[in-house]
Amino acid sequence: MSTTAFRNFKMVDYVVYGRGSFSQLDEILKPHRKDDAPMIFLVDHFFEGKPLVNRIPLRGDDKIIFADVTYEPKTTYVDSIADNLKDEFGMVSGVIGIGGGSAMDLAKAVSLMMTNPGSSADYQGWDLVKHPGVYKAGIPTLSGTGAEVSRTTVLTGPTRKLGMNSDFTPFNQIVLDPELTANAPVNQRFYTGMDCYIHCIESLQGTYLNEFSKSYGEKALELCQYIFLEKDHWDDECDDKLMMASYAGGMSIAYSQVGVAHAVSYGLSYLLGTKHGVGNCIVMNHLEDYYPEGVAEFKRMVEKNGVDIPRGICQGLSEDQFDTMINVALGMKPLWENALGKDWERIMTREKLRELYGKL
């Protein structure tokens, strides 16, 4: 039997979980320091001037780069950071991403571009990366994206929005410290939490489903339902549980895929710069035809948590702009196949997708 019949799934090498575990970062990084080569901390710009920055264990030539994550990472941004680091240091010991999904994806991509030639745009796709990156660690300060465990790093390139999906992409280390998520802005926390919830709905109702994905997906879904429907107020327990939901939700996709919401959201992000979490929410609001129960429950969560989901963001776009979004969305073939089966191209026509984008 061919060895490629089953996916040989590369996971994160080391995981530390617990309140206060961030304080062990110095000790965790120590064995991975190479001579005088620095550790580079890519930190979400939200934390500039905040107390967390003073807790980062800087040694020698270590450097903090405040990553501008106003928009999701672009291949040009990844390349410029990697090129600047090569110019300044030659080589680095590692890249540590601290922040939400964008900051972690940026860290994964920069790590890979320290050792792979060309531009990160050359590696947008599946299994195109040829060399392991430098050591990389991910430290989420928002929970939900699953970026901490995924084998991709979602990037917007010159022609498409697509990740560097490879066995070299997952982190060597993740630090899951729920204390770091405590003061997240309410809307932002909800949008990334819903990213996790939508992962679960798409994975559990997809044609790629198997017991590996199902076990993680069901647990993540149960945690999301408890946090966003049963809890009366946000507390430490919510932060603890959402961090684990994010981890499990990310794992559930490892052996399956996401679906319609993510594919359509990629188009919004590519054209309009819509952030991933809120983009998924905007799309999910209109997917009753595909996930009727999930959408009904999603709407209850939105109402209970008093969050506004933007509407009308596609009003006034030209047909060329709609075509651009449709092309990006239809390029996500595995997502459509997972959602709609092998005949997905007959089901999700350009006309149908144009109609859906028109509602957003």
Sequential pLDDT tens for the chain (360 residues): 445 678 788 999 999 999 999 999 999 999 999 999 999 999 999 999 999 999 999 999 999 999 999 888 999 999 999 999 999 999 999 999 999 999 999 999 999 999 999 999 999 988 999 999 999 999 999 999 999 999 999 898 898 888 899 999 999 999 999 999 998 999 999 999 999 999 999 999 999 999 999 999 999 999 999 999 999 999 999 999 999 999 999 999 888 889 999 999 999 999 999 999 999 999 999 999 999 999 999 999 999 999 999 999 999 999 999 999 999 999 999 999 999 999 999 999 999 999 999 999
Q: Could you tell me if 266 and 273 are in contact, meaning their C-beta atoms sit under 8 angstroms apart?
A: no
> Between β-strands 63-67 and 39-44, what pairing exists: parallel, antiparallel or unpaired?
parallel
Residues 6+ apart with CB under 8 A from 1: none
Look at residue 87 in the predicted model and tell me its pLDDT: 98
DSSP notation for 146-164: -TTT-S--EEE-SS-EEEE
| Bridge partners for 137 per DSSP | 96, 173
Query: For the chain, how big is the Rg over CA atoms in Å?
Result: 20
Residues present in the chain in total: 360
Per-residue model confidence as pLDDT tens digits over 179-226: 999 989 999 999 999 999 999 999 999 999 999 999 999 999 999 999
pTM value is: 0.94
Q: Token digits for 9? A: 């799934």
Say how far apart CA 287 and CA 289 lie, in whole Å: 5
Look at residue 1 in the predicted model and tell me its pLDDT: 42
Q: From 188, 206, 356, 346, select the one nearest 267 (Cα to Cα).
A: 356
